[in-house]
Structure 1
């Protein structure tokens, strides 16, 4: 399973409200830790032109609220799960009491969860649909997980397991692991629904920009970020079709090269921060090529690579999910900075 931080609807064209880190801490299932693609989506505007597929203004407000809460809460929840799974070697049976290292968990902000629960309940009253159902299931599963994590965090951070021979830790494990698994399932569904709605806004705005202004920098930036997002959805997965990914990579490169050429000819109109975006686009291009080559040529990870494939160092491995994800996240951040 994966965690993704989603770019929110911003206050001006292309501005977003993302958190995004480059930590690349993995998400886990309730049975074993697995690498995650912590991915942002391409920036989108506040309002979209009138179109059948575009959300209404109230729908955009609701989407922004959902994204803001997701960005604020999701990553920390997944990091807490990953922390727990990093030392509980068997997530089916739980702590044995013989662990050499006990890391505990990371805290999840239950107060912020409660605030988002309240705002989700209000947002869901306006034309409820699939997104609202997913949002409710997500925030409720997170609230349950947050309560259990708070109890477990107190137990482990105070070293209470040293006094009861892990008795409470073993008792807590089954409901905790079940809550983790449920949350991860709901998180994936919710993020997919958000991205589907977010894409509608982005696509509608891109069409309107091209119609009104032609292929100038605002359109080209939005288009290249859209292609970058499509590409990461493919190559950020553990397995993918190399031919399909190569086509998506070529489309991204084409839009990026067009944007670079445009700025070269129209440097006076380039937005502040374009040089950073251009550098980030090149880093993403390079990491994406490495990722596609590894899968296309079926290049296995070396023993040295395998030792590096863990939180904090996996991004340094050529062709890894974590490296391309980190490059993509930095591309998003560079794009966001252009309009802050």
Structure 2
């Protein structure tokens, strides 16, 4: 599985990295490690956006904002529900055996919110539909199908009905439920990729305009910080990556982050009320990224204790894990977005 948190277009214009892990667990699209107890990197020069970048129209921006908002609201919970089900159904090919010692059921998915997004997506897709709109439609329709099946399964398991029919209905529900889960994961990956591609264009155009009109003040530095954070997570969010390349990306993130921190110290009156939270989140992300890089760079294997923790709900506590750096990144996104509310 892969879960992402996509920062809103009108907020910080950033899409999060892929994380095939739900709740930051190794089985989903996880985040990647970077190694280096002392990462040696050269200072970074100014962030420059492609000269050809052009700002989107208001309508396309509104559409992207709507897609991101729905994705953020719905995607993570859907992946969490899938992960919870897979955590006790040991064989997703065959389904529950009826001999499970622990039955967790699933997490609910908000079908009413899915319906709202389905309606807004249908309206948004009418205007000059492109790849993003096609991906959005496929995504929300697959989620709607999954939501209906999960609601039925959740009721069955939460009421302990499986104890009365010896898992008869649970076994019958499994095949369509597992198929819907697989389809949703596929459509979720495609949709998030398309959002990121479109969001990157918007971010580049916005950063270019900000640097041109205002210079390297806090609005620009915040965007640059988040852009570098996103680039870094795309590297270290994978199971394997090149440590040297990741170290360079980490250095770029640290450079612009330090520039932003120094700017606020000199211009404290210009900082938004949420800056302190963003600064803390940026430091937590920096630390988690360094741990991840070090683990990969130094080829540090997970201990037996680590392996026991590498599961949904606890994997984020393992130093240098994909899940820990993903969690730190998502919290950075949330802190950044709060500055704009």
TM-score range, shorter chain: 0.7 to 0.9
Task: Report the Cα distance in structure 1 between the residues aligned to 2:119 and 2:304, rounded to whole angstroms.
Answer: 49
Deviation at 1:196, TM superposition (A): 1.0
Deviations 1:233-275 (A, max 9, x none): 1111111111111111011011111112222222332332322
Name the CA shift for 1:134/1:13 in 2 (closer, same or farther; >3 Å). Answer: closer
Name the CA shift for 1:42/1:308 in 2 (closer, same or farther; >3 Å). Answer: farther
Deviations 1:262-293 (A, max 9, x none): 22222332332322222221221111111011
Task: Report the Cα distance in structure 2 between the residues aligned to 1:316 and 1:100, rounded to whole angstroms.
Answer: 26
Return the TM-score normalized by structure 2: 0.88
Q: Structure 2 regions of 5+ residues with no counterpart?
A: none
Equivalent pair of 1:228/1:252 in contact (CA under 8 Å): yes
Equivalent pair of 1:117/1:140 in contact (CA under 8 Å): yes
Deviation at 1:320, TM superposition (A): 0.6
Equivalent pair of 1:26/1:79 in contact (CA under 8 Å): no
Name the CA shift for 1:37/1:85 in 2 (closer, same or farther; >3 Å). Answer: farther
Name the CA shift for 1:110/1:211 in 2 (closer, same or farther; >3 Å). Answer: same
* Number of equivalences: 339
Task: Report the Cα distance in structure 2 between the residues aligned to 1:37 and 1:81, rounded to whole angstroms.
Answer: 36
Instruction: Give SS of 1:71's match.
Output: helix
Deviation at 1:15, TM superposition (A): 13
State the superposition RMSD in angstroms.
5.7
Equivalent pair of 1:107/1:150 in contact (CA under 8 Å): yes
Equivalent pair of 2:81/2:106 in contact (CA under 8 Å): yes
Identify the structure with bigger relative contact order (alpha carbons < 8 Å, sequence gap 6+). 2
Name the CA shift for 1:294/1:333 in 2 (closer, same or farther; >3 Å). Answer: same
Equivalent pair of 1:315/1:324 in contact (CA under 8 Å): yes
Deviation at 1:337, TM superposition (A): 2.5
Deviation at 1:19, TM superposition (A): 16
Task: Report the Cα distance in structure 1 between the residues aligned to 2:143 and 2:36, rounded to whole angstroms.
Answer: 18
Equivalent pair of 2:153/2:173 in contact (CA under 8 Å): yes
Deviation at 1:36, TM superposition (A): 23
Deviations 1:29-67 (A, max 9, x none): 9999999999999999x9999976432111011111111
Deviations 1:141-168 (A, max 9, x none): 1111111111111211121111111111
Equivalent pair of 1:66/1:135 in contact (CA under 8 Å): yes
Equivalent pair of 1:41/1:195 in contact (CA under 8 Å): no
Name the CA shift for 1:182/1:35 in 2 (closer, same or farther; >3 Å). Answer: farther
Name the CA shift for 1:208/1:31 in 2 (closer, same or farther; >3 Å). Answer: closer
Equivalent pair of 2:15/2:199 in contact (CA under 8 Å): no
Q: Which moved more, 1:235-244 or 1:24-33?
A: 24-33
Name the CA shift for 1:22/1:107 in 2 (closer, same or farther; >3 Å). Answer: closer
Q: Which moved more, 1:197-206 or 1:309-318?
A: 309-318
Instruction: Give SS of 1:23's match.
Output: helix
Return the TM-score normalized by structure 1: 0.88
Name the CA shift for 1:180/1:236 in 2 (closer, same or farther; >3 Å). Answer: same
Name the CA shift for 1:99/1:191 in 2 (closer, same or farther; >3 Å). Answer: same
Deviation at 1:200, TM superposition (A): 1.2
Instruction: Give SS of 1:47's match.
Output: coil
Name the CA shift for 1:33/1:276 in 2 (closer, same or farther; >3 Å). Answer: closer
Equivalent pair of 2:8/2:337 in contact (CA under 8 Å): no
Deviation at 1:338, TM superposition (A): 2.4
Task: Report the Cα distance in structure 2 between the residues aligned to 1:56 and 1:47, rounded to whole angstroms.
Answer: 22
Equivalent pair of 2:132/2:195 in contact (CA under 8 Å): yes
Equivalent pair of 1:231/1:245 in contact (CA under 8 Å): yes
Equivalent pair of 2:237/2:322 in contact (CA under 8 Å): yes
Equivalent pair of 2:218/2:264 in contact (CA under 8 Å): yes
Deviations 1:59-112 (A, max 9, x none): 011111111111111111111111110100000110001000111111111122
Equivalent pair of 1:2/1:37 in contact (CA under 8 Å): no
